[in-house]
Amino acid sequence: MDISKTLRDESKSLSAAFNAAPVQLAGHGKREVRVLKEAFAGAGDHVASDMYGAGEVIEEFQAEMAEVLGKEAAVFFPSGTMAQQIALRIWSDRKGSRRVAYHPLCHLEIHEQDGLKELHHLQPLLLADKDRLITLEDVQNMGAGIACLLLELPQREIGGQLPEYAELEAISAYCRGQGIMLHLDGARLFEALPYYGKTAAEVCSLFDSVYISFYKGIGGIAGAVLAGSADFTGESKIWKRRHGGDLISLYPYIIPSRYYYQQRVDKMGQYYTDAKELAERFNACHKVVTLPEVPVSNMFHVHFALPREQVEPALITVSEETGVGFTPRLKETGEFSCAYELNIGDLYSSIPKAKLEAAFGLLDRLLKEA
Amino acid sequence: MDISKTLRDESKSLSAAFNAAPVQLAGHGKREVRVLKEAFAGAGDHVASDMYGAGEVIEEFQAEMAEVLGKEAAVFFPSGTMAQQIALRIWSDRKGSRRVAYHPLCHLEIHEQDGLKELHHLQPLLLADKDRLITLEDVQNMGAGIACLLLELPQREIGGQLPEYAELEAISAYCRGQGIMLHLDGARLFEALPYYGKTAAEVCSLFDSVYISFYKGIGGIAGAVLAGSADFTGESKIWKRRHGGDLISLYPYIIPSRYYYQQRVDKMGQYYTDAKELAERFNACHKVVTLPEVPVSNMFHVHFALPREQVEPALITVSEETGVGFTPRLKETGEFSCAYELNIGDLYSSIPKAKLEAAFGLLDRLLKEA
């Protein structure tokens, strides 16, 4: 093996070029210790830890989030994986049915090592095709015996698409009529609000339970909230203990969640506008389309009609020559195509327009020639 | 209701008196934000977060703990509740038996809302009586079909008792001979080492898997490590994801765990010596005995042969008059008795002897007259 060549290849990798670029298109910046230190800089030394779910630091934030989401109560969880399995389990137990329904690319189906099946023995029905949203018709055709339907807003794995609000209302009304519980995977709920022009509480009023995350658009360290009626959240605390999530101290996640929530919840409109502008820049390039073509939140997917081996050197060149990093990695989506996911955060709006034009101008030329 | 009386009662509560006392007998100090800030003061701003179990900050600490415990590999978990259920599940699956064995006051039996049964459907056999340790004879009489035996060292709920090391070796040899997996609940393993005069790796060599905690004697914020063979820990990572414990970032617990481990692991001998001295002071008082009478770790239980309503005012008076806080709460153990648990940490050795003598002298007089 030629070590010097390996080193050259390493230094030429997309990930290395991205990390070395002085400017990144997406996100809020690197996930590093600074993020925690900034959140704690204003927290008093003698603020008491939460203790197994009790104490001001957790109870106040839970009450605040319950109000924001328009629900009776909320519980802070270390992860959405834990919170959502538990939500579906509670509704399943109450309805006396192990059958739940969700999208084929739901987080529970593809990112959780089948925890829902292995720990809770629930049987998910996969609604809709992988590449489109769940429709009212899908829901009407689910068949009998579904305890709970989970909807993810926006649907991340297809670029963050959203159903029209009227369709969402119709699905909610149908489920209520049929006694089917409706759970919201709102990992990116705040990011979806500017498109809908609704408050979080308005959207959540269509659902019986809701999960939100604090490290997507909010940019915290980790953590989630599960909200619903007080009896639902009370039961969720028992399951949180069973899962091993009722930690003696969750404040290392709660204080940053609250800090970054306050910093960023009002910036979601800006991120959405920025995402639409950035998607236009991509769509103006040869052999590039975004999904959705016009974003409906702060996120979209970038699809290249070229094999990964041809896109990587183009993105490396753009990084090195213009100082703009696009992505650390590309996913092969076929023999002659690749893609990546992009979430707009604080960084985009601070990039000078001239720099963006230089970067996209060069990218377009390189892809056209490729 | 007489509100002014309630307020007076509140200010006279044991918990309030304890918190107001300038000196506390047990522990390392209050659980508050300062604990996190101190641990992060020396951490560089640009230290990268772990990402879903990968990255230097988690991998280096796991490797360090694997070496300390003499095991092939180790995995950092948010909680021991999660780590231990998973350990028992893995051994149960491998042995093809749902039956495991542990002490009747095992953490999994009394503090976890039956997660082991509700999530993993394991069937625990409760060995020994509640008020004594598991013996070799108990283990020999378990009957066939036990996949895994869990031993807790020291056995917290009976004051932190330890079996003699020869008995531990005999139990381990018996289990190996019978093909029974042996798991160590080592929440307080480091605290037990001075009594045994053994290293952590020596004790762990008797076990197939081991869990340790970072917020007992070590005094971190939260977090646990599960160690064993590489195939065992590899499987545990899959279950960690299923439980919702494979967080995007665990560094808010890992960095403090490492920091306080380095600060305190060598102080366990001091805590043990202090615990023996302090137990002597309690045992010299009227109507007080400690369990064990002579501690074998940094912990013991304090039992009063008086009803809680008589002990509380005595402890409040001692706090107010001498400035020494004993405990924020007492547990009723019978109609005429109560008790509490005590864990020696950094605080005890800094209390002037004269202050201790004043506090115990007054306590003895008050209890004698009660």
pLDDT for res B73: 98
Pairing of strands A209-213, A181-186: parallel
Q: How many CB pairs under 8 A join A and B?
A: 164
Residue range B252-260: mean pLDDT, rounded: 98
Q: What is the pLDDT, as a whole number, of residue B362?
A: 98
Give the whole-angstrom CA distance, residue B163 versus residue B217.
20
Tell me: pLDDT of A348 over 50. yes
Answer yes or no: are the C-beta atoms of A116 and A108 closer than 8 Å: yes
Residues B256 and B344 in one domain: no
Cis (ω within 30 of 0) for the bond into B154? Answer: yes
pLDDT of residue A168: 98
Q: Tell me how far apart the alpha carbons of residues A121 and A92 are, in angstroms, rounded to a whole number.
A: 10
Please give, rounded to a whole number of angstroms, the shortest distance from the CA of B307 to a CA of chain A. 27
What CATH number has the domain bearing residue B271?
A: 3.90.1150.10
| Pair A92, A148: CB distance under 8 Å | yes
Query: Which residues of chain B does A33 touch, with a Cβ-Cβ cutoff of 8 Å?
Result: 40, 43-47, 49, 251, 255
Q: Which residues contact A97 (CB under 8 A, 6 or more apart)?
A: A145, A146, A147
Q: Between B6 and B362, whose confidence is greater?
A: B362
Its ipTM equals 0.96
Q: How many angstroms away from the CA of B69 is the closest CA of chain A?
A: 23
Residue B11 has pLDDT above 50, yes or no: no
Domains in chain A: how many in total? 2
Residues A169 and A256 occupy one common structural domain: yes
Please count the other Cβ atoms lying within 10 Å of the Cβ belonging to residue B60: 12
Q: Which residues of A touch B45 (CB under 8 A)?
A: 32-34, 37
Residues B48 and B162 in one domain: yes
A205 and A301 fall within a common domain: no
Is the C-alpha dihedral spanning B181, B210, B75, A112 positive or negative? Answer: positive
Please, what is the Cα angle at A201 between A198 and A206, to 5 degrees?
90
Q: Are B103 and B152 in contact (CB under 8 A)?
A: yes
Contact assignment for A33 to B82 by CB distance below 8 Å: no
Torsion angles phi and psi, residue B286, rounded to 5? -65, 140
What pLDDT, in 10s, does the model give residues A122-177? Answer: 999 999 999 999 999 999 999 999 999 999 999 999 999 999 999 999 999 999 99
Identity of the amino acid at A228: G
- Which of B214, B341, B250 shows the shortest CA–CA distance to B59? B250
| Chain mean position to CA A193 | 14
Q: Is the pLDDT assigned to residue B132 strictly greater than 60?
A: yes
Closest C-alpha to A155, from A124, A203, A189, A125: A189
Contacts of A249 in chain B (CB under 8 A): 31, 215, 221-222
* pLDDT for res B355: 97
Claim to verify: residue B238 and residue B289 sit in the same structural domain: no
DSSP A111-142: SSTTHHHHHH--EEEE-S-TTS---HHHHHTS
- Which of A213, A237, A263 represents a domain boundary (last residue)? A263
| Cβ-nearest to A222 among B46, B118, B247 | B247
Nearest Cα residue to A232 out of A82, A71, A116, A117: A71
Last residue of a domain, one of B263, B284, B306: B263
| Binary contact (B31, A45; C-beta < 8 A) | no
**Segment (H or E) for A171:** helix A165-178
Residue A270: φ, ψ to 5°:
-65, -45
Sheet holding A337-343, edge to edge: A288-291, A299-304, A337-343, A331-334
Alpha carbon distances (Å) from A71 to A79, A188, B346? 19, 18, 44
Q: Which residue in B47, B221, B247 is closest to A79 by CB distance?
A: B247
Which chain A residues have a beta carbon less than 8 Å from that of B118?
242
In this complex, the residue of B45, B112, B221 whose CB is nearest that of residue A252 is B221
**Alpha-helical regions (H) of chain B:** 3-11, 14-20, 33-41, 56-69, 80-95, 107-110, 115-120, 136-140, 165-178, 189-196, 200-204, 230-243, 251-264, 268-283, 308-322, 353-369
The full DSSP string for B69-105 is HT-SEEEEES-HHHHHHHHHHHHHHHHT--EEEE-TT
Average predicted confidence (pLDDT) for chain A? 96
Confidence of residue B357 (pLDDT cuts 50, 70, 90): very high
Q: Single out the residue in B201, B234, B263 at which a domain terminates.
A: B263
The C-alpha atoms of residue A181 and residue A87 are separated, in whole angstroms, by: 10
If you measure CA to CA, which chain A residue comes closest to B241? A112
CB A315 within 8 A of CB A326: yes
Q: Choose, out of B47, B49, B185, the residue to mutate when testing the contact with A (most A CBs < 10 Å).
A: B49
Q: Please tell me the predicted confidence (pLDDT) of residue B267.
A: 98
CB A320 within 8 A of CB A312: no
User: Are residues B188 and B280 both part of a single domain?
Assistant: no
Decide if pLDDT at B107 tops 50.
Answer: yes
Left, alpha or beta for A355 (phi > 0: left; psi -120 to 50: alpha)? alpha
pLDDT in tens, A217-275: 999 999 999 999 999 999 999 999 999 999 999 999 999 999 999 999 999 999 999 99
Q: Given this model, what pLDDT does residue B211 score?
A: 98
Same domain, B238 and B343: no
Q: Alpha carbon of A294 to those of A274, A304, B4, B333, B341: distances in Å?
A: 11, 16, 64, 67, 62
Residues 6 or more apart whose Cβ sits within 8 Å of residue B13: B316
**Could you please report the per-residue DSSP string of A172-216?**
HHHHHHHT-EEEEEETTHHHHHHHHT--HHHHHTT-SEEEEESSS
Cβ-Cβ contacts under 8 Å for A365 (sequence gap 6 or more): none
- Secondary structure letter of residue B265 according to DSSP: G
Backbone angles phi and psi of B302, in degrees to 5: -110, 120
Q: Is B38 exposed, middle or buried (0-12, 13-18, 19+ CB in 10 A)?
A: middle
Of B80, B115, B221, the CB nearest to A243: B115
Claim to verify: residue A285 and residue A307 sit in the same structural domain: yes
Min Cα separation A165/chain B (Å)? 31
pLDDT > 70? residue B7? no
User: What is the predicted pLDDT for the residue at B306?
Assistant: 98
Strands A123-126 and A73-77: unpaired
CB within 8 A of A13, min separation 6: which ones?
A: A316
Structure tokens at B271: 């805590």
Is A8 a residue whose pLDDT tops 70? no
Q: Which of B33, B47, B255 sits opposite A47 (nearest CB)?
A: B33
Distance from CA of B249 to the nearest CA of A (A): 6
Both B302 and B257 in one domain: the answer is no
Percent of chain B with pLDDT over 90: 96
Q: Do B251 and A36 touch (CB under 8 A)?
A: yes
The per-residue pLDDT for range A278-313, each reduced to its tens digit, is 999 999 999 999 999 999 999 999 999 999 999 999
Could you tell me which of A30, A8, A28 has the C-alpha nearest to residue A19?
A30
State how far the Cα of B9 lies from the Cα of B13, in Å rounded to an integer: 6
Distances (CA, A) of B152 to A315, A337, B163, B189: 55, 55, 10, 9
Per-residue exposure over A17-31, b if at least 16 CB sit within 10 Å of its own CB, e if not: bbeebebbbbbbeeb
Residues of chain A with Cβ-Cβ distance to B37 below 8 Å are: 40, 43, 45
Using DSSP bridges, classify how beta strands A181-186 and A148-152 pair: parallel, antiparallel or unpaired.
parallel
Do A138 and A272 fall into the same domain? no
CA atoms within 13 A on the CB side of A62: 24
Residues B216, B298 within the same domain: no
Domain that holds residue B163: 33-263
**Peptide bond preceding A154: is omega within 30 degrees of 0, i.e. cis?**
yes
Question: Which of A31, A37, A113 lies closest to B242 in CB terms?
Answer: A113
Strand A337-343 relative to strand A331-334, pairing? antiparallel
Q: Are strands A324-325 and A23-24 parallel, antiparallel or unpaired?
A: parallel
Q: Which phi-psi region, left, alpha or beta, contains residue A212 (left: φ > 0; alpha: ψ -120 to 50)?
A: beta
Interface test mutation site (partner B, options A46, A86, A119, max chain B beta carbons within 10 A): A119
C-alpha torsion B293→B299→B305→B309, nearest 10: 170
pLDDT tens digits, A324-336 = 999 999 999 999 9
- pLDDT over 50 at B237, yes or no: yes
For residue B23, count CB atoms less than 10 angstroms from its CB and return exposed for 0-12, middle for 13-18, buried for 19 or more: middle
Mutate to test the interface with B, among A246, A249, A251, A258 (most CBs of B within 10 A): A249
Q: Residues B159-173: what's their mean pLDDT?
A: 98
| Cα separation, B243 vs A79, whole angstroms | 9
Closest residue of chain B to A32, computed from CA coordinates = B48
- Cβ contacts (< 8 Å) between B244 and chain A: which residues? 77-83, 85, 112, 115, 243, 245
| B13 lies in the same domain as B52 | no
Residue B95 near residue B256, CB atoms below 8 Å: no
In the predicted model, is pLDDT for residue B252 greater than 90? yes
pLDDT digits (tens, 9 = 90+) for A59-102: 999 999 999 999 999 999 999 999 999 999 999 999 999 999 99
CATH number for A133 = 3.40.640.10
Mean pLDDT of B40-66: 98
Of B19, B75, B101, the closest CA to residue B247 belongs to B75
